[in-house]
Chain A
């Protein structure tokens, strides 16, 4: 089946540094990808929609200058957490709708655990 990968699976960084997380669709092209944040015992919160060839669309309350999204190709979107702080520690998940399903079926990456010390 269709696969979406994320790299790294976990990362620890110091406060004030930036971290880049990659999301790749391995066997299909995705003009749109989504980035979510998941807190412990809480639901996934949509952060932004990544659009290939254009700017990302951010959800209300998400700082676009802090969470930089670049959709570099039809198979790759990156999320960069800039000047990370401990409150940015979370589980970040990406997804991509499969074009063969009319967009209804989204394939999710396994997530990236970010810990900011």
Chain B
């Protein structure tokens, strides 16, 4: 079945450091890929998405590129802020038109001032 693997956390960085959270996937079809973020005490929010190979999703300084050849969708940000502290989930939606999501286990990020 479909699956998403993302790097184990927690990740602790200093403010303005570079962030990478690795995500790889296994899917039978051509999935859409997502990054969701969960801030403390809040529900998950869509951070960015990419629906086909070589697409780059971006939002709030975060970026991720859909790499079909390596089945990856790594999340990056050049300079993190304290307010980026949250849990980040990589997810995929496999079937065309399906809204069902398969999630990775989540990576907790803590950014210290």
Contacts and interface: CB of A to CB of B under 8 A. Distances in A.
Given A42-B105, A43-B106, A44-B103, A103 B44 contact: no
Interface centre among B4, B89, B101, B102 (most CB of A within 10 A): B101
Nearest to A46: B100
Interface stretch (B13-21, B45-53, B63-71, B78-86): B45-53
A41 B43 contact: no
Contacts of A107: 43
B42 to A, nearest CB: 6
Contact of A109 (B43, B46, B51): B43
Interface residues of A, number: 21
B110 interface: no
B83 to A, nearest CB: 17
Contacts of B99: 32, 34, 97, 103-104, 106
B97 interface: yes
Contacts of B32: 104
Contacts of B43: 4, 93, 107-111
Interface of B: 4, 32, 36, 41-46, 49, 51, 89, 93, 97, 99-106
